[in-house]
Amino acid sequence: MTEYANTNKEVVLSIKDLVVKFSLRGRILKAIREISLDLYRGESLAIVGESGSGKSVFTKTFNGMLDSNGFIEQGSITYNGMDLTKFKKEKDWLQIRGGEIAMVFQDPMTSLNPLKTIGTQICEAILLHNKDVTPQQAKQKAVEYIADVGIEEPLRRSNQFPHEFSGGMRQRIVIAIAMACNPKILICDEPTTALDVTIQAQILGLLKDLKDKYNLTIVYITHDLGVVAAVADRVAVMYAGDIVEIGEVREVFYNAQHPYTWALLSSLPQLGVKGEKLFAIRGTPPNLFQEVRGDAFAPRNPNALKIDFVERPPYFPVPGSSTHKARTWLLDPRAPKVEPPSAIKAIGGDYNAL
C-alpha cells in the first residue's frame, strides 16, 4: 500500500466536476454532483457507499454505458488526451470499451451467454482487440487466459458451456474475458457480492495477482468494507452522488474525518458489541430530484453544524497527509472539535478485524 505512494503518480483517468443527470418521468435527477477524481496508473481504488449513492453510475460514465435516460451535463473525463464526455456515437466508445477500460459485473450467473462455449466468448474478446490474431491463435490464447484465472484443465473447460461452471468459476471466466480485452483499467462492479465468502477471497486474490501481472489499474465498486481492506490502495467514500472523503485505505479507516465515513464504519457488524444493538445510520439519503443544499449528510448527522445546512463544504486536506482529504466543515480551522464515535476509535491498529 505504501509503495504506491513512492511510485511516480501518473494520472490515467482524470475526472473534473462531473455532473450526471437522469430524466425520469419528466423529472430530472442529479445522480452525480460535481465529482473530481484522478486515477493513478497501477493503483487500485475502491469506491464505497450505500445503495443509490451513484457508485455504478459514476463508473459507467467511463465507458459510455449509462442508461439511455442518463446524460452528462457538465465536467470532463480525460483519458489519453481524449475527453470522454464529448463522445456521442457508439463508434467513439468502441475504442475505449474493452481495450482501454474493461468491466466485471456483479452477477456471474447471468454475465455469460448461456448458449456459447466459454472458449468462444473469450475468443470474441481476443479477436475484437487484436486485429492480427487468427481465429486459431485466438483459441489458443483463450485457453491461456482460462489457465491464467486459475481454472484447471483449461483446454477441456474451454469447450464447455457456462451452465457447467459454478458461480465462482463463472466469475473467473468473466474476469478472463475482461483480461482478454487487454485493458489498462479494469472496473469491478461489486465483483464478489454474488459469491459466497470463501470464493470471495479467491476472486479478490486473483484480481490482485492479475493487477500485478498486467500492471492494471483497478476500480472496485463495493459496499463491503472488508473487500476494501483486502484489495484497495485508496478508497473513495461516496454519498448522494459525491465523494465525501478520499484517501489511502489506512488513512480513511484509522483517521476518518467525515461524519458519513464515521457512520459507515460504525455500522460494521464486526465493531458491534455483543448484546447491544448494531449501529444503523438513521434517516434516508437525500432526494436527488431536488438540489441538495449544504452537506448532503447533514440531515442524518446528529452533530451537524449550522453551516452544514447552508453551504457545501469544500475539500479540506487532512493535516499531515498529502493524499487524504474530506468534504466536511469539521476540518475548517474555525470548526468546533467533534469527537468521532467511540466505535471508530475501537478500530485501533488492526483493520484485519474488518
Partner 1 sequence: MLGYFVKRTLQSLLTLFIVVTAVFLMLRLMPEEGYFEATAGVDRLTIEQQEAILRAMGLRDPIHVQLGNFYRNLFRGDLGTSIIFRPHVPITEIIAERIPFSATLGLAAISISLTVGIPLGAGMALYKGKMLDRIGTFFIVIMIAVPAVIYHLLIQLYVTDWLSLPMLFNERRPESWILPILSLSIAGIASYAMWMRRFMVDELNKDYVKLARAKGQKSQKIMMFHVFRNSFVPVVQFIPASILFTIAGSIFVESLYSIPGMGGLLVQVIQRQDNPLVQALVLIYTCLGVFGMLLGDIAMAIVDPRIKFAKKGGAR
Cell (9 digits) for 345: 476509535
Nearer Cβ to partner 1, position 50 or 124?
124
The verdict on 169 binding partner 1 (CB under 8 A) reads no
Residue 340 DSSP class = P
The verdict on 161 binding partner 1 (CB under 8 A) reads yes
Shortest Cβ distance from residue 231 to partner 1 (Å)? 20
Helices marked H in the chain — which ranges? Answer: 2-6, 55-60, 90-94, 118-129, 135-148, 154-158, 167-180, 197-214, 225-231, 249-254, 259-266, 342-346
Cell (9 digits) for 148: 491464467
> Angle CA(31)–CA(32)–CA(36) in degrees, nearest 5?
175
The verdict on 13 binding partner 1 (CB under 8 A) reads no
Shortest Cβ distance from residue 240 to partner 1 (Å)? 25
Residue 339 DSSP class = P
Near partner 1 in 171-190, by CB under 8 A: 174, 177-178, 181
Shortest Cβ distance from residue 112 to partner 1 (Å)? 6
307 CB-contact burial (10 Å; exposed 0-12 / middle 13-18 / buried 19+): middle
Q: Out of 31, 102, 264, 343, name the contact with partner 1 by CB under 8 A.
A: 102
Question: What one-letter code names the amino acid at 285?
Answer: P
Cell (9 digits) for 44: 487500485
Q: Are 79 and 118 in contact (CB under 8 A)?
A: no
Near partner 1 in 114-133, by CB under 8 A: 114-116, 124-125, 128-129
Nearer Cβ to partner 1, position 142 or 288?
142
Shortest Cβ distance from residue 161 to partner 1 (Å)? 5
Shortest Cβ distance from residue 175 to partner 1 (Å)? 11
Q: Can you give the three-state secondary structure of 259-295, one letter per residue?
A: HHHHHHHHCCHHHCCCCCCCCCCCCCCCCCCCCCCCC
Q: Which stretch binds partner 1 (CB under 8 A): 11-19, 70-78, 99-107, 329-337?
A: 99-107
**Rounded Cα distance, 162 and 303, in Å:** 51
The verdict on 167 binding partner 1 (CB under 8 A) reads no
Shortest Cβ distance from residue 325 to partner 1 (Å)? 31
Q: Which stretch binds partner 1 (CB under 8 A): 88-96, 213-221, 318-326, 346-354?
A: 88-96
The verdict on 268 binding partner 1 (CB under 8 A) reads no
CB neighbourhood size of 203 (10 A): 25
Nearer Cβ to partner 1, position 90 or 350?
90
Binding footprint of partner 1 on the chain (CB under 8 A): 63, 65, 90, 94, 96-99, 102-103, 105, 107, 110-116, 124-125, 128-129, 161, 163, 174, 177-178, 181
